[in-house]
Amino acid sequence: MSDKTDEGVYTDFKDRMTYGEYLKLDELLSSQQRLSNHHDEMLFIIIHQVSELWMKLILHELRESTDAIRNGELQSAFKMLARVSNIQTQIIHAWDVLSTLTPAEYIQFRDALGQASGFQSYQYRMIEFALGYKTPHVLKIYQKEPNLHEELKEAYEAPSIYDVSIEKLVEAGFSINPQLVERDYTKPYQADESVAAAWEKVYRNVDLYWELYQLAEKLVDIEDSLQQWRFRHMKTVERIIGHKTGTGGSSGVGYLKNVLNHRFFPELWDVRTNL
């Protein structure tokens, strides 16, 4: 007897893997455990879990694209970085859904969160590390989890995607400050005149440096989207809790406004003024 319907759809899965098994849906869909009885806590949990899944994919793509740039496989890197930009669009729109949560609704379950906060998102910190923004104090949050702490420390000490992009400028023959090539990667990147001059030459000679120009624009896309994500985060927090202190002890909106001033790839923004 055939195990297919007339439409060719399989119905006998006694010895076959199902869609739910492949995606581990039982485990995934049972991970939304509310700590209160409030209806809207489900929204709060799912938005943050979905964002963490997207961040996992962002990290997957950033790591591979960083390796590809270092190995001179720029076209492969461009594909992955374009994917990152599209993922970021999904995360940005997630704030539109969360912003349907009103202050009166959130205060009904906020206390149940204790000191848990998005400030403690280790994947978000690893994204910042991958882009070159290194903040040592956040490592202390994860000392209770040795394996995770070691993973974060490794990412903290590794070169960022911008560091390996600057290496490409060196390989292309640009005169780059040698201290940048062998610098301490745990320090936040600071703008450098030699890098600024190199990128300006790339933008003034696009045909000659086409791949470097593409790389620069892909990096700008990612920083632009990350700043949009940060802005939507800040406005959503302000909309829901105003200027209250965050559950994790941060200054909340004040902290989120301050990070908007940080630039990951400063010379790529300055070049627009200098051209």
46 is in an annotated binding site: yes
To the question of whether residue 44 is assigned a binding role by annotation, the answer is yes
Inter-CA distances, 35 with 38, 42, 86, 241, 247, Å: 9, 10, 33, 19, 15
What tokens appear for 104 in the block?
């009166």
Region for 8 from its dihedrals, namely left if φ exceeds 0, alpha if ψ lies in -120 to 50, beta otherwise: left
Token code pair at residue 264: 């990951």
Is 48 labelled as part of a ligand binding site?
A: yes
Q: Is 176 annotated as a binding residue?
A: no
In 72-158, beta strands by DSSP E: none
Are the C-beta atoms of residues 233 and 96 closer than 8 Å to each other? no
Does 45 appear as a known binding residue? yes
Residues 6 or more apart whose CB falls under 8 angstroms from that of 86 comprise none
Closest-CA residue to 125 (of 133, 116, 115, 117): 133
Residue linked to tokens 């001179």: 72
Asked if 159 and 140 count as a contact pair (C-beta separation under 8 A), the reply is no
Using CA of residue 73, residue 78, residue 83, residue 85, what is the dihedral sign? positive
Q: Is 106 annotated as a binding residue?
A: yes
Q: What residues does 4 pair with on adjacent strands?
A: 10
Amino acid identity of 12? D
Binding residues for substrate: 44-48, 106, 110, 247
Binding residues: 44-48, 106, 110, 233, 247
Binding residues for heme: 233
